[in-house]
Structure 1
Amino acid sequence: MKKILYLTTGCFDKGGISRYNRYQIRCLRELVGEQNVKVFSLLGPQLGDFEEEFKVSWNGWGASLSSKLVFTFKVLFNIFFWKPDIVWLGHINLTEILIKFKLINKVKSVLNIYGLEIWSGLRPDVEKGFKRVTHVISDCHFTSNYAINEGFRSSDSIDVIWDCVDFDKFNEVIADDEDDFYKKYNLPDPSIYPWILTLGRLSYAASHKGYERLLEVFSKVALKDENAVLVFAGKGDMIEFLKELASNLNISDRVFFSGMVHEDDLAKFYRASRIFSLVSDRGVGRGEGIPLTPLEAMACGSPIIVGNQDGSQEAIFNNENGFCISPFDYDNHENALLSVIKNDVQFKKKSKAAVRIAHKYFSYDTFKLKHEIFLKKIKND
């Protein structure tokens, strides 16, 4: 049975990469046995992270020099003495360890890639590691094609495995305590005021997710629908700026901020939304692989709107489950929102399609099966 040393920069927070890593670690443990998978995380659990316990073999205490040194020592010790069959890298920056210690040709390695980290400039050793790791898994075709077209990898060395959704958590089933869950977040009743929902890190570092643009678009929507509201779910250093912008647009009374959402309430937020919007733009330090939040929203029956400049577009199937638009086409964004908010038939049609597509393409079982096929493929390399 294969022994896998899984390295991650962090798998406890609620970000998309951490969630992908957690799903991946779970399926690897199920495929090769928990005793055959060691997980080292540079970052440890922090306040506001994933509420459920997630076991790792060892975790550091942040990005400090001391934490990095101990992390590196643990990695090297286990490579030499535990002798894993595969060193699995959950983030591209971790390739630097294999390059600096001249291990790149001595171990079989698998690297995950996602999105903006690939097209935002790579340190020399990271780029060298990216080009020389044994295998690469990309979370979307867009990022895979970018890596191939830019000459980082050959086409036969990258496998695409889309992110997945846990349908035990994210589904259409209404919870017993769902009727008034919104009250503890000081949000309006979604049965009276249709929610346009966006959810994620509300930070300047994540501004490519289109928060400012969404406010601009909603200011037009609010003139044409007197009940719709815009809900920002999450925390971050951009919230006060967004509140000020809402005030300048004269829509403060229609824009709401929930703060951090407990994991147990995430599906309730998605189910409450009339439509979910995450329209990202792409550039240096900007852009997505295939973001998880729209997939979770789909599984809960919410139509989605995503951007066409990055991997987000792979969440839309012939506009059946939502809309794929240019992030700077405000008119199209407005029309897409209104078409679902004001038309019950359109909403129900897209909602039903969203659930069907989520189950067909983004299930954990499919995610696990693709990893099983991948492991068999690389078995004799």
Structure 2
Amino acid sequence: MFKKSAINKGNFYLIFPNIFDFKGGIQVYSTFLLKALQDVYPEADYDVFLKYDKQNLKTQQNLQFLSSTKFHYFGNLPKLLQTILFAAKIIILAIFQRPTVVISTHVNYATACYILKLLTGIPYWVVAHGLEVWEIENNFIKLALQKADKIVSVSNYTRQRLLEGKNIDSEKIFVLPNTFDANQFKINPKPSYLLKRYNLTNEQPVILTVTRMGRMAKYKGYDQMLHALVKVRLCLPDVHFILAGKGDDIPRIKALVAKLNLQDCVTIAGFVPDEELCAHYNLCDVFALPSKGEGFGIVYLEALACGKPVLAGNQDGSIDPLAEGKLGCLVDPDNVEEIAYNLIKILQGDCSNPVIYQPKYLQQKTIDAFDFNQFRANLVKLVNGH
């Protein structure tokens, strides 16, 4: 699509929601995308537009980018003014600078890219993650997605959803899966400091879920996990469930825990910082997130890289990191009985998929398919038009 010499001396415009203030799937993907581009094209210029980040946040993060990277922040502005100035600055600056390509990691920003293309002919790409592109109601956003030069889907599942009745040319949609830093995730024994923190013994079966717990995120399946736990503990009385993450749904979750009389076997751990994430995966005997709204699910990669059995839903992008079930256990995310049955089987060492008990195999397969080096190599192919 572009000559390599033109890219090296060119200018990438990258439009992100944010990367410094909040760590969700889109933010992690955006960060890895920027890092990969700068690894491969260190001589190019980079203008990064951050709708929700504020200027002082960059210094608080341990993120390394090229010193020439220009960040444009809009997080301090009132909401309506933020949206207007965000789009206006992208368009006006691009008219003067003429970037090589504009890449948006959220479909909502594709409208500004489309207007810019109409005015200047500058090509743009849109990254498609999950729910935000599965059902687009805004016709202008839908049109902007259709007119993109490339749509980069984070999973085969999302690619299939995009091809269902959205009038998008299949030749435009490329899969560039989520990635992770494999160096951060190792196979280790259960950490003694976490056993002590959560008042657990080394022999206790531990189920872990790491997720956002917002009122708009009930599709993540943590309610079903709690209902399934009632049944699991009938077979495994000393089982313990650690639910980690933050969000505005936690008060309701705590009330549900009390209602189900699970206070003695559930820990709502709150936000887990990056430096403790690997330790939490190593603490568990199974990682479970029976979601039905994942575009992909980076947490599955992290758990697999720690060699852990993984249980996920079979109705969304979760099937991609689990290699369509070859590396884990896929269940109907709405079926509490099925979730409970499979959790019991996994914890009793009797899962029908024996590879989930082969930590090094799980780790290696995950690294081979999804490590950052693989992501970077695949991105180069995309940029070069393959």
TM-score, normalised to structure 1, is: 0.89
What is the distance in 2 between the residues matched to 1:188 and 1:134? Answer: 54
What letter matches 1:108 in structure 2? Answer: P
Which of 17, 20, 26 matches 2:29? 20
How far, CA to CA, are the matches of 1:245 and 1:161 in structure 2? 38
* Of 351, 355, 369, the match for 2:377: 369
Amino acid in the other structure paired with 2:203: I
Partner of 2:159: 144
Measured against aligned partners, the alpha-carbon deviations of 1:91-148 in whole angstroms (never above 9, x if no partner) come to 1000111344563771111110011011233312111100101111000111111111
Alpha-carbon separation, structure 2, partners of 1:50 and 1:115: 29
Check the 8 A contact 2:125/2:149 in 1, yes or no.
Answer: yes
Report the Cα offset of residue 277 of structure 1. Answer: 0.9
CA contact (8 A) 1:321 1:351 kept: no
Alignment pair present for 1:31 and 2:40? yes
Superposition pairs of residues 94-173 of structure 1, within 5 angstroms: 94-100=109-115, 103=118, 106-172=121-187
Question: For the Cα contact (< 8 Å) 2:307–2:362, is it kept in 1?
Answer: yes
Q: CA deviation at 1:77?
A: 3.0
Q: Distance in 1 between matches of 2:314 and 2:64?
A: 34
Distance in 1 of aligned mates of 2:336 and 2:50: 41
Identify if the C-alpha distance between structure 1 residues 200 and 228 changes in structure 2 by more than 3 Å, giving closer, same or farther: same
Instruction: Give the Cα separation in 1 of the matches to 2:186 and 2:380.
Output: 25
Aligned to 1:203: 214
1:4 partner amino acid:
F
Match of 1:212 in 2: 223
CA contact (8 A) 2:128 2:152 kept: yes
Q: Tell me the SS of whatever aligns to 1:25.
A: helix
* CA drift at 1:72: 2.2
Q: Residue 77 of structure 1 is aligned with which of 92, 98, 104?
A: 92
Q: Matched residue of 1:250: which SS?
A: coil
The one of 62, 79, 82 aligned to 1:52: 62
Instruction: Choose 302-311 or 189-198, whichever is displaced more.
Output: 189-198
The percent identity for this pair of structures is: 24
How far apart in 2 are the matches of 1:70 and 1:170?
40
The answer (yes or no) to whether the contact 1:104–1:132 under 8 Å persists in 2 is no
Residues 1-381 of structure 1 mapped to structure 2, 5 A cutoff? 1-2=6-7, 3-12=11-20, 13-33=22-42, 35-44=44-53, 51-53=61-63, 57-61=71-75, 64-100=79-115, 103=118, 106-172=121-187, 178-181=191-194, 183=196, 186-189=197-200, 191-281=202-292, 287-317=293-323, 319-343=325-349, 349-377=357-385
**1:189: how far off?**
2.9
Gaps of 5+ in 1: 282-286
Query: Is the 1:274–1:347 contact (alpha carbons within 8 Å) kept by the matching residues of 2?
Result: no
The separation in 2 between residues aligned to 1:350 and 1:123, in whole angstroms, is 46
For the residues of structure 1 that align with 2:134 and 2:379, how far apart are their CA atoms? 25
Separation of aligned partners in 2, 1:192 and 1:8: 44
Instruction: Please report the RMSD computed on the Cα atoms of aligned residues, expressed in angstroms.
Output: 2.5
Distance 1:50 1:306 in 2: 33
Shift of 1:301: 1.4
- Give the count of matched residue pairs: 368
- How far has the Cα of 1:350 moved from its partner? 4.2
- Counterparts in 2 of 1:102 and 1:34: CA distance versus 1, 3 Å: closer
Please list every run of 5 or more consecutive structure 2 residues that lacks an aligned counterpart in the other structure: 1-5
CA distance in 1 between partners of 2:168 and 2:350 (Å): 47
- Shift in Å, 1:328: 1.9
Between 364-373 and 340-349, report the one with greater CA deviation. 340-349
- For the structure 1 residues 129 and 203, does the alpha-carbon distance in structure 2 shift closer, same or farther, using more than 3 Å as the test? same
Is the 2:327–2:356 Cα contact (8 Å) retained in structure 1? no
TM-score with structure 2 setting the length: 0.88
Structure-1 separation of matches of 2:326 and 2:134: 30
Contact 2:243 2:267 survives alignment (8 Å): yes
Q: Which moved more, 1:363-372 or 1:119-128?
A: 119-128
Question: Which amino acid is the alignment partner of residue 246 of structure 1?
Answer: V
Letter in 1 for 2:91: L
